[in-house]
Chain A
């Protein structure tokens, strides 16, 4: 295998971005969902499109009902792109729009994407969304759009990027100062907003980072890990 050498690799080896989601902290409040929409210029589908399953959520809260009254239980689980190390969406893309970056992100290159939707078909987490229409914001809602993030046009796939615009910003700052990105220096929008701190983000290549430490917990598991996708997100089991 050819060793890829990143010209801009930081001192101490490459980054490996990852996340830990503690289900014992998550309360299903959905602050992360709106934070993500605001940061990443996610389109508003409206009632009719939503009814056809075309509303876009880069992060969503799955809910699982168990049992019946009076023993009914409800469990919440935030689900977003798992940025798999062995991603099912990547080998099936005919134009290399879905590819793996050296720092462990599953990237989606919008201007390569031709919209065959095989990646969405192959994703076991159903976290990829297709743009069936040109996005639209009633004026002046568009004035809020984040200039650091592309507005995806009709015909391309989109999904969670771990807020790559924030990651790249932090990496450039660190590079200019000749150091590594500090733990906690960069947070995706969902992580930043989460009131209970259920979401934690950081560098899995740094054994001292919070994610690395939390991911070693006995409660840790990967979502559908039996599929061998090697997700970059470690969930911590809820204690019941």
Chain B
């Protein structure tokens, strides 16, 4: 059946996408699953397939409009509880990943020295046997670094690596490790909660970039809209505390600037005031632990250290404890410091003090679905760096990469490149030739996610398991990574073959879902449930009862954050932030995202350095001048853009550009600010402290050429000076 459909699609696909007069097509068909026969496909009529977006770690449900065997448009899946029909810029642009001209079109082997980036084709059979024999040669010396793939694939990777005595690391720079570590300390809970923004009346956010890239931005965007204007009588208020005015802070009612790394102290001060004024409903037993910790702090000293005025602190505390449904969240620059986890524990404490746990508008804990293939724990950067530590795991190993790009996302100061250099064999399964894949000896390219079977289990929101199906036939000579690992298990023989005996990954996914449904609805016919799940895009149920928490952890430390570089020599704080379109660099090969104006500066197709206008003028820097940013570990050059949202002593640069590989749209464009970072870690979570490096700046005397779509930035500022602008 598959074959027949494929041949059919190839035939229709030959016709070029002719332009039709608007509206000449018939109605759009209902969502239909992949398993229906070809007769259902009519040229000129769209079919919609439900799947899961994999452009970030959130896993929103999507529906894909397919005509003549080509994916034309992606929309959010209206049924999926996470995003309810909505989608972000990255998800919209994922079609340019599928149809990217620089996709890897078949298996490749290194041609020349490792890291030169020259490759020549290799037959699949030969590539597989090279990979598997290397694994057999190094029992116990295999390492797989994969992006988080919660669902069947995580189970497959974990089982495979365990059976061959290797190690798997699920790693992603945006995985919010400090938040997980802090929630374990505060609530004794291992999974992510749901932050019920929609019903909050007062949101106090410490740097959490929930409107751009925090946990699940589309979910929080939808909740934010409802918080503001979704209730007839209540408009939720929102205050953002952070050093730099971020995209999220721009939407706040009030932005409270604060010295970097002292967000936790401010939370401590607010907590102390809540207790002092007797506005907590904590049980007496718990209360004493909080009182004991807060006792050693004084508000005026904290005001001094944070740079937030005492009356502002008192105001924040009063606003917070008098609100009907207050909620405090933290993330972004607040958590990306050497004291990130402690800071978030101090922020969590505010929620415990006002008792908003499992209440509308507060923090709610929903147990993740009991989907059989559980998600494996996501590690921080420290775990990867330990590979080249005393254990010497890296030397003579087989290093495998699945859609992780550590050579781009880890600063060079961590010397992670060593891990690549010491490995016997480097294998990448990425569909794109990114920096890490360019260092591989063997490339066994995976399908793009829109060509693959799969599933994605979400946590935090009401339990949901998204189901992904291929929406188009694979374009190139690529193979699903699941099939590769099952094939390798088969060649390997022994225990791993027994544990992973499925013929192909699609069958494995189906069987996992069969188990899942059998436990949920014993005695129900599976086929009908499976087709329904394909049509709907997965399985979820209405919000159940939240899980009560057993632990109410008081903060235990409020150490100031450490910074690398002396204040005298490096007078500026430095903050590299994930850019709106390119995130941590994965969006850089999509022209739509390159041409997406940065919402704050309107720059396209390049990098820029954000400097407070007054500071820039002190240095004699005009807008567009090339400036050199220097840290103890490296330097970058990029054009200046005046940024009124930066304090005088902070320089910020967006992450995402500066690729040395990754295709024609990304290569040789702009700079990667991660190159400046010191290898400082937030110890409890093992996450890299990206906000912990200090820098200095130098004039280069040359002009850069940043492309700003809005040439009138200065002009609009002039219009509104001293007056209330419209809107």
**Assuming A27-B211, A27-B251, A28-B247, is B86 touching A66 (CB within 8 A)?**
no
- B645 engages A37 (CB within 8 Å): no
Cβ contacts under 8 Å, B93 to chain A? 34, 38
From A55-63, A93-101, A205-213, the one touching the partner chain is: A55-63
Cβ contacts under 8 Å, B28 to chain A? 169
Indicate with 1 or 0, residue by residue over B212-232, a CB within 8 angstroms of chain A CB atoms: 100001100110110011000
Cβ contacts under 8 Å, A45 to chain B? 595
- A28 engages B605 (CB within 8 Å): no
Residue of A nearest to B44 (CB): A147
- B70 engages A144 (CB within 8 Å): yes
- Most B CB atoms within 10 A — which of A23, A74, A139, A239? A74
**Assuming A65-B644, A238-B727, is B717 touching A143 (CB within 8 A)?**
no
24 contacts between A and B (CB under 8 A): A29-B217, A30-B581, A38-B95, A57-B597, A60-B597, A64-B720, A65-B713, A72-B245, A74-B250, A74-B600, A143-B70, A147-B67, A148-B19, A148-B25, A164-B22, A169-B25, A192-B76, A195-B218, A196-B224, A197-B86, A198-B225, A221-B726, A235-B727, A238-B727
Asked if B92 is at the interface of the complex by the 8 Å CB criterion, the answer is yes
Cβ contacts under 8 Å, A221 to chain B? 726
Asked if A89 is at the interface of the complex by the 8 Å CB criterion, the answer is no
- A65 engages B224 (CB within 8 Å): no
Q: Which residues of B contact A (CB under 8 A)?
A: 17-20, 22-23, 25, 27-28, 44, 67-68, 70-76, 83, 85-89, 91-93, 95-96, 98-101, 211-212, 217-218, 221-222, 224-225, 228-229, 235, 245, 247-248, 250-251, 253, 255, 257, 475, 580-581, 591-593, 595-597, 599-600, 602, 604-606, 612-614, 644-648, 664, 669, 705, 707, 709-711, 713, 716-717, 720-721, 725-727
Chain B binding surface, main DSSP class: loop
Residue of B nearest to A23 (CB): B727
Cβ contacts under 8 Å, A46 to chain B? 591, 595, 605
A139, B105: Cα distance in complex, Å: 14
Residue of B nearest to A75 (CB): B727
Asked if A113 is at the interface of the complex by the 8 Å CB criterion, the answer is no
Asked if A33 is at the interface of the complex by the 8 Å CB criterion, the answer is yes
How distant is B709 from chain A, measured CB to nearest CB, in Å?
6
A61, B218: Cα distance in complex, Å: 18
Indicate with 1 or 0, residue by residue over A138-160, a CB within 8 angstroms of chain B CB atoms: 11111111111111000000000
Asked if A168 is at the interface of the complex by the 8 Å CB criterion, the answer is yes
Given contacts A68-B644, A164-B22, 17 further A-B contacts (CB under 8 A): A37-B592, A44-B592, A46-B595, A47-B604, A47-B605, A51-B705, A55-B709, A66-B721, A72-B245, A73-B250, A75-B727, A76-B599, A138-B664, A148-B20, A149-B19, A168-B23, A193-B87
**Assuming A34-B92, A70-B647, A192-B75, is B250 touching A76 (CB within 8 A)?**
yes
The 3 A-B residue pairs whose C-beta atoms are closest, nearest first, are: A195-B221, A196-B225, A168-B23
**Which listed residue (B83, B221, B612, B707) contacts A29, Cβ 8 A?**
B221
How distant is B308 from chain A, measured CB to nearest CB, in Å?
10
How distant is A75 from chain B, measured CB to nearest CB, in Å?
6
Cβ contacts under 8 Å, A172 to chain B? 23
Cβ contacts under 8 Å, A35 to chain B? 87, 92
**Which listed residue (A34, A66, A142, A194) contacts B725, Cβ 8 A?**
A66
How distant is B501 from chain A, measured CB to nearest CB, in Å?
37
A23, B599: Cα distance in complex, Å: 15
Interface size bracket, A side: 35 or more
- B87 engages A31 (CB within 8 Å): yes
**Which listed residue (A47, A51, A140, A194) contacts B86, Cβ 8 A?**
A194
- A239 engages B235 (CB within 8 Å): yes
Cβ contacts under 8 Å, B716 to chain A? 62-65
Cβ contacts under 8 Å, A192 to chain B? 75-76, 85
**Which listed residue (B76, B250, B646) contacts A28, Cβ 8 A?**
B250
Residue of A nearest to B713 (CB): A65
Residue of B nearest to A169 (CB): B23
Cβ contacts under 8 Å, A90 to chain B? none
- Most A CB atoms within 10 A — which of B67, B83, B89? B89
Asked if A53 is at the interface of the complex by the 8 Å CB criterion, the answer is yes
**Which listed residue (A38, A57, A67) contacts B74, Cβ 8 A?**
A38
- B250 engages A75 (CB within 8 Å): yes
A76, B716: Cα distance in complex, Å: 12
Residue of B nearest to A172 (CB): B23
**Assuming A60-B597, A148-B25, is B73 touching A193 (CB within 8 A)?**
no
- A148 engages B710 (CB within 8 Å): no
Cβ contacts under 8 Å, B19 to chain A? 147-151
A45, B707: Cα distance in complex, Å: 12
How distant is B14 from chain A, measured CB to nearest CB, in Å?
12
A143, B69: Cα distance in complex, Å: 10
- Taking CB atoms and an 8 Å cut-off, the chain A residues in 16-50 that contact chain B are 22-25, 27-31, 33-35, 37-39, 44-47, 50
A143, B68: Cα distance in complex, Å: 10
Cβ contacts under 8 Å, A73 to chain B? 250, 255
A50, B89: Cα distance in complex, Å: 19
A33, B596: Cα distance in complex, Å: 8
Cβ contacts under 8 Å, A164 to chain B? 22
A28, B86: Cα distance in complex, Å: 15
